[in-house]
Amino acid sequence: MTLKTQTKSELITELKAKGLRLTPQRERVLDIFYDLPNGEHISAEHVYTTLKQEKVDISLATSYRTLKLLASHGVLREVDFGEDTKQYELIRDEDEPHHHLICVDCHETKEFESSVIYAEAQRLCAAMGAELVDVQVKLYARCKK
Amino acid sequence: MTLKTQTKSELITELKAKGLRLTPQRERVLDIFYDLPNGEHISAEHVYTTLKQEKVDISLATSYRTLKLLASHGVLREVDFGEDTKQYELIRDEDEPHHHLICVDCHETKEFESSVIYAEAQRLCAAMGAELVDVQVKLYARCKK
DNA sequence: CTAGTTGCAAAGAGTTTGCAAGTTG
DNA sequence: CAACTTGCAAACTCTTTGCAACTAG
């Protein structure tokens, strides 16, 4: 189910091979994620309003459907920050997931990686007799503002 | 805002000192969390139906309000697993939060601790110029079934 | 007493879905 | 052209809220 990340055109080829169609809406949605800084996450609503601004024909329903579809094919990852909306980000590297620092005051988020955490996750997982699929770490903290 | 965990009666004293009233509903909600195995998490709906079964008079609205209230006072922690409902768990030890292993197949969850991760979280947080408040780690994995 | 709390039902927010019309391969 | 996809609006689910009645301290 999960795909390794690749260029946009490789991805499209692979999705087509699965029987999915490349509609203008889907292509624009992919563009948005490829243009996003590494690790940044957005909501269906955000995708919708961004594309609307760019005069792309898309409905909110399609935005929701597309994100869900891409997530189920391993292109996007659904991440949760206890906000009221689901967030999605492009999966760029299956092997070392990045994590999030979330300010409890201003709600700003920042991405980071840590091979220490990843190694520990592997170890713990093995110790509990399970096979690691993904690690998500959230550091709730207070930034200096 | 945050309280150190303690016995139920100490907690009640402290909440009263903040001007909160101890209603039968709130006391029963606290009971539920104190009876829960360490680290287990439940939803407002679950609290409501559990108490209803025990013939306690409570409404779903009060269940939601109480959980939110207790969370805002540092008694409960809101945790998210990308399910459709918010989950809450009793905060038992502020210094070393426990984490969750979630099976991507059967959705069963398992709690664990790791001082390695905690230490790394502290270090990373300091490096990014923020003050650590809470760490939440989720290992998505496949259990052996 | 009186400020805090409850229950109810209605309102909200986010997300999903049925269906007819439109497109992709 | 057949299967897939879209847009729209209605439906749904989870959660919050206004308000009048009630109650803990």
Contact list, B110 vs chain A (CB under 8 Å): 128
Tell me the average pLDDT across B114-120: 93
Q: In this structure, what DSSP letter does residue B36 have?
A: S
Portion of chain B with pLDDT greater than 90, in percent: 52
Helix orientation angle between A60-72 and A44-53, rounded to the nearest 10 degrees: 120
Q: Is B116 on the interface with A (CB under 8 A)?
A: yes
Instruction: Give me the helix-helix angle, B8-17 and B24-35, nearest 10°.
Output: 140
Residue range A105-126, pLDDT digits in tens: 667 788 888 999 999 999 999 9
- Indicate the pLDDT class of residue A134, thresholds 50, 70 and 90: confident
- Across the interface, of B81, B112, B120, the residue whose CB is closest to A117 is B120
Q: What's the average model confidence in pLDDT over B120-141?
A: 90
The pLDDT score that the predictor gives to residue A90 is: 92
Taken in order B68, B6, B134, A125, the sign of the CA dihedral is negative
Nearest-angstrom CA–CA distance, B127 and B144: 38
Q: What is the pLDDT of residues A44-68, one digit of tens each?
A: 999 999 999 999 999 999 999 999 9
The domain made up of A1-93 has a fold known as Arc Repressor Mutant, subunit A (1.10.10)
Give the rounded percent of residues in chain A with a pLDDT score beyond 90.
50
B104 at interface of A, judged by CB pairs closer than 8 A: yes
Helices (H) and strands (E) in chain B, counts: 5, 5
Query: Which of A120-124, B2-6, B86-90, B110-114 is least confident?
Result: B2-6
Q: Are B66 and B25 in contact (CB under 8 A)?
A: yes
Q: Please give the model's pTM, rounded to 2 decimal places.
A: 0.82
DSSP-based three-state secondary structure for B82: coil
Nearest to A88 by CA among A124, A45, A43, A133: A43
Residues 6 or more apart whose Cβ sits within 8 Å of residue A105 = A142, A143, A145
* pLDDT (tens digit per residue) in B18-30: 889 999 999 999 9
- Residue B120 has its nearest CB partner, among A81, A101, A114, at A114
According to CATH, the topology of domain B97-145 is Dna Ligase; domain 1 (3.30.1490)
Q: Touching check for A120 and chain B: CB below 8 Å?
A: yes
CB pairs under 8 A between A and B: 106
- Left, alpha or beta for A74 (phi > 0: left; psi -120 to 50: alpha)? left
User: Which pLDDT does position A54 carry in this prediction?
Assistant: 94
- pLDDT > 60? residue B120: yes
Parse chain B into domains and list their residue ranges. Answer: 1-93, 97-145
* Span B87-98, pLDDT tens digits: 999 987 655 678
Q: Is the pLDDT of residue A1 over 60?
A: no
